[in-house]
Amino acid sequence: MERCYNLQTCAANSSLEQDIRLCADVGFSSVEIDFQKARNYLQEHTLQDLSRLMQAHRMRCASINAIFSINFCTEQQWEDVCAQLDFACDLGEAAGADRVIVLSNERADLPAGVTDEAIFTDTLQALHRLADRGGARGMKIAFEPVGTMAIGDIGTAWRLVQAADRPEVGLVIDDFNLYLWDVGADFDVICRIAPEKVFMVHLNDAEKIPFARLDQNHRCMPGDGRIDVRRYMECVRACGYDGPVSVEVLNSEIWAKGPETVIPEAYEKMGKFVD
């Protein structure tokens, strides 16, 4: 496995250039690039500059992230989703990424009375449409279940990927998001997933606060919280996955430390769980 860093871990307090340089300095071999940092970078640079930056630091881009709200779209909403996918393909061609992370809608934003069967069918159709469009440019669709979203558990997400049955569609596994679903009780499901269908693994932890208060801003560094991170990674290994494992901590208090502190800390703390 390789240690990867998601640039959103210092989302509001660093630049793409600074993150890439610091990641290379501490030993990360790959990064995940998010749309916002990429757009900020491209205000004064070109895609060719991005390609040269990655090459200069011998850094690989493991994924582009993320496309949200792919369910029950109006025509205009779907055009917006496709525009994001096209941008991800542009970034991927420049930075060397061949997959983009995709998520379903928040459950609170779904049409009233919609059934789980309808959600499954609509999500499957959306994944096929995205795979058709992205696949034409060599971009894979990495679908990520999130506990508060329309597709919240790894079991349902895995059934979706199996139903899609195409090489462009796979899974993102994130311990925090699975913890939000059922406190990590379904980590064992990971052991039964085909390793070639795991497109990305995220590694984080959850702050030690009451479960009902947890949201994405309560992520913390692996080993610092309440998730059984060691068991999670044992399940990831058991399925046969051997790709990038990425730290993705979306916590404004951690962002405030600055990238000079956060990036070395992320590299060190994930080293307890990633060889």
- Quick check: is 6 in a domain? yes
Give the torsion through C-alpha atoms of 31, 198, 195, 244, to 10 deg: 10
H/E segment holding residue 88: helix 75-95
pLDDT tens digit sequence for 18-47 = 999 999 999 999 999 999 999 999 999 999
- Quick check: is 275 in a domain? no
Strands 244-247 and 198-203: parallel
- Quick check: is 180 in a domain? yes
The Cα diameter of the chain in Å comes to 52
The confidence score (pLDDT) of residue 62 equals 99
- Quick check: is 129 in a domain? yes
pLDDT tens digit sequence for 179-193 = 988 887 889 999 999
- Quick check: is 152 in a domain? yes
Average pLDDT of the residues in 248-271: 95
d(CA 109, CA 102): 16
Strands (E), 158-227: 169-174, 198-203, 205-206, 219-220
Total structural domains within the chain: 1
Q: Which domain holds residue 131?
A: 2-270
Which has the minimum average pLDDT: 52-56, 155-159, 255-259?
255-259
Confidence of residue 75 (pLDDT cuts 50, 70, 90): very high
d(CA 48, CA 42): 10
pLDDT tens digit sequence for 110-121 = 999 999 999 999
The confidence score (pLDDT) of residue 92 equals 99
CATH code, domain carrying 21: 3.20.20.150
pLDDT tens digit sequence for 219-231 = 999 999 999 999 9
